[in-house]
Structure 1
């Protein structure tokens, strides 16, 4: 969460360091999501073939490395490439982690466990503006001659936002592969060892092993790993795993899931990437005595690279009210996850989806119209 959304605060304060226009801000904000789209199929294939854990740990470490590199970039194109790679690698972990978690739970508790993880994930939202306020609003800066960059707080902010992924990768070194994946791959012995590990972890009792008489597999069987070598063999394996998604009986489910994911990303991440900067301009407009202004007015009125010479052209920090509003909205976001986690089993996932998408769509339309 911190890694994906940290750029929303950076583009609001790094516009002159990176010489960003409004259009370039949009491209920079979208690059991580473009990387996510580009890598999602590859990482999904590898997670189903090699294992969840073997994808999650390397991609988290690579994300951290690329995030550190992006903090050192000096122009738009270099940081854009780094943000694309950030999204490319982080989607390997973010897409696999829920499958990894769910496969440690039974059917009854799986949805609740995933919602609990989503709640913890969402805690990063109110933490993000808090971190941004503590770090970005500092006034220090120094030059690194060998890299020819002025190191400002927003660069440190990118590095710190990448640390949770690194810590998570190190922590996962102590955890096994999911037992369901091992079972579906025919590795019953390792699946039983993992179940025993879970029993010891949950009970705290290493002396009394869990008595397992029989393990029943599910009707769903994951494709076994093909040991054939060569590019053609790999492409054939990818095709064999992908093609059934676009045939009956899975076609309508594939279309539905793509539509839901598109709606989720365009409403949540699409708006959030610009939200801190827009909110800061709205607060400054109110402080200047402008009582009525729309979001569209803010977008079209603010372009620092076209400002006149006698006006301030750079935003090096955001107003305190901007952080306050951001934290308030993010707390509501976290509470929403908590409420959904409590209601999902009682109300049903379909009702939750319909309510959330309808509410978000209505609020998105109203946000453009009100002033």
Structure 2
């Protein structure tokens, strides 16, 4: 007798045909409260990375006597955190792709805050450099992984816009840097801590304040689940469905009935990580090697070069920005108004050599230094918000070419223009817009099982650009100032041209051949 309970194969096929793909299931959560909160937290994490790595630029301008710093040592302190990022990026990328995005981001944020607090208590160059290295080592865990974590909570329709939304929050948070520096550093109090021979001045407190966003972000993420796309790519569809249902409840509340998703079918772009090897190093190799094979080689090379160039100028060249601004203000106070940036740098070098070193130490900065820095961060805030609105309209290629070209021209004009020279320096630093745009592009260029590693490697190369830029200033600024600005200006022109060769950049989506090569990533 025929089993009446057995389902007809055709009916079973039709039933499964109704099951959504991950992208379709994610779209059912709508875009609401949860998305805005996650964008805000992600933007705060990006702000934490900014403050942890660039806050030192204000410190080296006022702590040269406390730490007995030379110009070269200032460059090293500015770069050493990025060196920590470079050393650890590969590790965090591997762990994020194999253990989870959130499991990397949260503990590294807590550790970064702890190392920042420790660095605020250091009394010499070497101890400070060691602590700043550890800060960079840990903050690296969130600096790149957050792009994958945030992007995987959104559909392809909102992926780039969500990342640029977080970048807008990052720009707004960036206003904290000159604001907090002005409030904290420009004070004259000091406290001597007995037994440890530490004179606690405002710049030490400033370092601690710069670490607070890391602490707050880590606490906020304790209540957020792992990326649903990551857990789905690991074969845990049940947990992914529960996270998607939780997102839906957060976004719509009681306005709609709960989602009735029972099963999610895998689409062609949901690659899974091979875990056959028991060796961690073999797993790291399996995770990294595909990025430099086949069609992935071209895209990996391009995004790494673009990140190197944008970070070289935006972050590396920023390290001496407050100090140079302060020198420009002092020159204007002395009645010198028509002068190039390099002429001011040379004049300051000569005055330092001819006078007592301690007399040239400054515990505070001129008010105009904070003013220009505030303007820079305000432009970033408005710019990131604007890019988030227009990125799907004008396309990512147009944004990259425009920003790279404008910043390159400004970097070259800094060498020759004497009025108003500092504005061109400021424009050069705006190529940081490209860092996050390229980050958004990178998320779309790779499948889930390679995405975090790809972003981490590209950001690692970007941080290498920051190290090169900071040390370029430290070693060449006093003797070859013009060359110091010519190098990033020329490199950014190359980046502008290279942007045209990003796969799928004109279409604004993942390349079509992605599905074909993805099947071979684990071979």
Pair 1:364-2:411 in alignment? yes
For residues 32-111 of structure 1, the aligned pairs below 5 Å read 32-111=81-160
User: Residues 49 and 223 of structure 1 are in contact (CA less than 8 Å); yes or no, is this contact kept in structure 2?
Assistant: no
CA–CA distance in structure 2, aligned partners of residues 179 and 117 of structure 1:
19
1:13 equivalent in structure 2: 62
2:372 equivalent in structure 1: 325
1:257 equivalent in structure 2: 303
**Matched residue of 2:199: which SS?**
strand
Pair 1:135-2:184 in alignment? yes
2:205 equivalent in structure 1: 156
1:282 equivalent in structure 2: 328
Over 3 Å counting, the alpha-carbon distance change for 1:305 and 1:285 in structure 2 is closer
How far is 1:19 from its partner?
Answer: 0.6
CA–CA distance in structure 1, aligned partners of residues 132 and 381 of structure 2:
26
Q: Structure 2 length normalisation: TM-score? A: 0.68
CA–CA distance in structure 1, aligned partners of residues 197 and 357 of structure 2:
28
User: Residues 102 and 110 of structure 1 are in contact (CA less than 8 Å); yes or no, is this contact kept in structure 2?
Assistant: yes
CA–CA distance in structure 1, aligned partners of residues 214 and 75 of structure 2:
25
CA–CA distance in structure 2, aligned partners of residues 346 and 255 of structure 1:
27
How far is 1:226 from its partner?
Answer: 3.3
User: Residues 200 and 206 of structure 1 are in contact (CA less than 8 Å); yes or no, is this contact kept in structure 2?
Assistant: no
For residues 171-320 of structure 1, the aligned pairs below 5 Å read 171-205=220-254, 208-212=257-261, 214-224=263-273, 226=275, 233-302=279-348, 306=353, 308-309=355-356, 312-320=359-367
User: Residues 57 and 169 of structure 1 are in contact (CA less than 8 Å); yes or no, is this contact kept in structure 2?
Assistant: yes
Over 3 Å counting, the alpha-carbon distance change for 1:85 and 1:301 in structure 2 is farther
How far is 1:249 from its partner?
Answer: 1.6
Over 3 Å counting, the alpha-carbon distance change for 1:310 and 1:368 in structure 2 is closer
**Matched residue of 1:123: which SS?**
helix
CA–CA distance in structure 2, aligned partners of residues 104 and 216 of structure 1:
17
CA–CA distance in structure 1, aligned partners of residues 395 and 360 of structure 2:
51
1:346 equivalent in structure 2: 393
How far is 1:66 from its partner?
Answer: 0.5
CA–CA distance in structure 2, aligned partners of residues 351 and 13 of structure 1:
40
Q: Structure 1 length normalisation: TM-score? A: 0.95
**Matched residue of 2:175: which SS?**
helix
How far is 1:225 from its partner?
Answer: 6.6
Q: Judge which range, 213-222 or 140-149, deviates more.
A: 213-222
From 369, 377, 402, give the equivalent of 1:355.
Answer: 402
User: Residues 19 and 305 of structure 1 are in contact (CA less than 8 Å); yes or no, is this contact kept in structure 2?
Assistant: no
CA–CA distance in structure 2, aligned partners of residues 80 and 9 of structure 1:
15
Over 3 Å counting, the alpha-carbon distance change for 1:56 and 1:282 in structure 2 is same
CA–CA distance in structure 1, aligned partners of residues 192 and 397 of structure 2:
54
**Matched residue of 2:360: which SS?**
coil
CA–CA distance in structure 1, aligned partners of residues 381 and 132 of structure 2:
26
**Matched residue of 2:332: which SS?**
helix
CA–CA distance in structure 2, aligned partners of residues 310 and 353 of structure 1:
44
User: Residues 49 and 225 of structure 1 are in contact (CA less than 8 Å); yes or no, is this contact kept in structure 2?
Assistant: no
Q: Judge which range, 108-117 or 119-128, deviates more.
A: 119-128
Over 3 Å counting, the alpha-carbon distance change for 1:206 and 1:170 in structure 2 is farther
How far is 1:214 from its partner?
Answer: 4.3
How far is 1:297 from its partner?
Answer: 2.7
**Matched residue of 1:146: which SS?**
coil
Over 3 Å counting, the alpha-carbon distance change for 1:206 and 1:346 in structure 2 is closer
CA–CA distance in structure 1, aligned partners of residues 134 and 416 of structure 2:
36
Please say which structure displays the higher CA radius of gyration. Answer: 2
- RMSD after superposition: 1.9
**Equivalent residue pairs, number:** 368
How far is 1:40 from its partner?
Answer: 1.3
CA–CA distance in structure 2, aligned partners of residues 104 and 143 of structure 1:
49
Map Cα deviations across residues 268-312 of structure 1 (whole Å, 9 max, x no partner). 101211111111110111011112322223333435974523982
2:169 equivalent in structure 1: 120
